[in-house]
Amino acid sequence: MANAKKIALITGANKGLGFEMARQLSQAGVTVVLTARDPKKGEAAAEQLQAEGLDVQFLKLDVTDPADHAAAAAFVAEKFGRLDILINNAGISAGELGTGKASTTSQDVLHQIFETNFFAPVALTQALLPLLQKSEAGRIVNMSSILGSQALHADPNSPIYNFKSLAYDASKTALNSFTIHLSQELKDTSIKVNSAHPGWVKTDMGTDAAPMEIPEGGETGVALALLAEDGPAGGFFHLGQPLPW
């Protein structure tokens, strides 16, 4: 590579897991494009990491805006000429976690959550794929959730059996399906695509009731972003262990 440092783009990275993964990747020597839909918050996040001596820069990116997808692709192409790592981290729950019953979830909530959690990462990945194909070892990490596991939701003995939220869970299941399909399509290339379950983490979405701290929550996504050539592809992982689809 002309530029030996890997280039990563992370969505929804002004706080929480996205911010932590930006920090950990930067500490590992990666140049990180930290994106967020709110320029003020995104700039502040990037400046905080820059103050730690890390190679991070901010790019405004609303994942639901196709114009921002095109602008992001143009920015990365002009500045770096390629993309090595894409972490599709931005996601929402619309406050329905644990309450989104299949019989009462509204169409508005379904559309809102799917727009951010599924349609947006698919569209953004498609926009950035030509740049990932220019990498010697492209990595795509879709930040999913154990709540997207159909196998575990159907198992009365699983830890998530009694915790169901239709829109959020189904959006992560769909994202996992995208992982499987894209990985198969790219199986003869150097690009690896995987889904990550970060764990139940103390974020705005996870709340303070979560048992995991944010640094540990960032580890799964970072590990998949830095996979070696012999690493897995087309899988669903948490802290190095496979999860059932």
**Mean pLDDT in residue range 6-13:** 98
More confident residue, 243 or 100: 243
User: For residue 138, which of 46, 68, 231, 63 has the smallest C-alpha distance?
Assistant: 231
In the DSSP assignment, the letter for residue 183 is H
- Contact of 11 with 87, CB cutoff 8 Å: yes
| CB-count burial class (<10 Å; 0-12, 13-18, 19+) for 88 | buried
Per-residue pLDDT tens over the stretch 64-85? 999 999 999 999 999 999 999 9
Cα–Cα distance, 133 to 12 (Å, whole number)? 23
Average pLDDT of the residues in 112-137: 98
Is pLDDT of 1 > 60?
no
**47-64 tens-digit pLDDT:** 999 999 999 999 999 999
Strand order in the sheet with 56-60: 56-60, 31-36, 7-10, 85-88, 139-143, 192-196, 236-238, 241-242
Q: Are 204 and 152 in contact (CB under 8 A)?
A: no
Catalytic residue among 58, 80, 118, 168: 168
Beta bridge partner(s), residue 7: 31
Q: Is 170 helix (H, G, I), strand (E, B) or coil?
A: helix
Active site residue 161: no
What is the C-alpha separation between 111 and 176, in angstroms, rounded? 18
Q: How far is CA 214 from CA 29, 55, 188, in A?
A: 20, 20, 35
> Is the four-CA dihedral 146, 152, 158, 164 of positive or negative sign?
positive
Helix, strand or coil for residue 56?
Answer: strand
Class of domain 7-238: alpha beta
Q: Cα Rg for the chain, rounded, in angstroms?
A: 17
Distance of CA 235 to the CA centre of its chain: 14
pLDDT in tens, 177-209: 999 999 999 999 999 999 999 987 767 766 776
Instruction: Return the beta strands (E) in 89-242 as ranges.
Output: 139-143, 192-196, 236-238, 241-242
pLDDT at 200: 72
pLDDT tens across 26-54, in order? Answer: 999 999 999 999 999 999 999 999 999 99
| pTM of the entire predicted model | 0.95
Q: What number of residues does the chain have? A: 245
What are the domain boundaries of the chain? 7-238
